[in-house]
Homo-oligomer: A and B are copies of this chain.
Amino acid sequence: MSDQSIDTSAVPERAPAGAAYSPLYQQIKGLLLQSLDRGEWKPGEVIPSEFELAARFNVSQGTVRKAIDELAADNLLIRRQGKGTFVATHNEAKVRFRFLRLTPDDGQPSASSSQLIDCRRVKAPADVARLLDLASSESAVNVRRLLSFDAEPTILDDIWLPGAVFKGLTTESLTRYRGPLYAFFESEYGVSMVRAEEKIKAVAATAAQAELLQVAPESPLLQVERVSFTYGDRPMELRRGLYVTNRFHYRNSLN
């Protein structure tokens, strides 16, 4: 239990003159993030107990606790009293609506289905390359799909992924998978989406969009551009969605 080989200079030095001061628990948080990033513990798995981690890093349990507290607040870890601390995953029911903010105006549940329109591999367009931090010559995967709720077409998604990371992604593998796309990315490509930024506008439907979504051309649609990030704030997905908001709305909480 003692004499771990991790070390990294046992008791981290405090601000070596002129350097940026960083509290111990922040450093521990950084080390935990590294472990998560490199996949030492996979989504859904338990991480070592607080006392184990405290021994590994040569700090007190309370300091580890504070580091984990912050990671749990960011939804990267999930604490379960009596059981342990787990790596967050996009498979849990409570998290399913963390990224999808569109909800029915009345009542809650509705049967959803996804129809794949297209999946191709192309050189990344300039705007996509910029948002995903890709070199202009790199390849990208483009997925287009239509989501329906209660058999009503509601969301038209145009998704872009870095080709270098999502290697084996094909129409076939996508069609076979059941469940949230982000859970698919986790289990198949080890890519965990941790955070996202959205930019929302109101736009008029083009003829092609109107036909797919079964609304009148020029109908107002909610346009949602989302960039999702993995550990280390690396952009990993660009998703441009068009939402029909006749019977649905985008919900948001301001704190």
Interface residues of chain A, those whose CB is within 8 Å of chain B, are: 73-75, 98-99, 101, 195-204, 218-223, 226, 243, 245, 249-255
Are the C-beta atoms of A250 and B204 separated by less than 8 Å? Answer: no
Q: Which of A73, A219, A250 has most B Cβ within 10 Å?
A: A250
Shortest beta-carbon distance from A210 to chain B in Å? 13
Interface SS of chain A? strand
Q: Which of B74, B199, B201, B250 interacts with A201 by CB under 8 Å?
A: B250
Collect the chain B residues with CB atoms within 8 Å of residue A99's CB.
254
The complex places the Cα of A250 from the Cα of B204 at a distance, in Å, of: 16
Are the C-beta atoms of B255 and A74 separated by less than 8 Å? Answer: yes
Collect the chain B residues with CB atoms within 8 Å of residue A222's CB.
200-202, 222
Are the C-beta atoms of A202 and B218 separated by less than 8 Å? Answer: no
Complex A-B, nearest 3 residue pairs according to Cβ-Cβ distance, in ascending order: A220-B220, A202-B220, A201-B245
A253-B196 in contact given A202-B203, A203-B202, A245-B201 (Cβ < 8 Å): yes
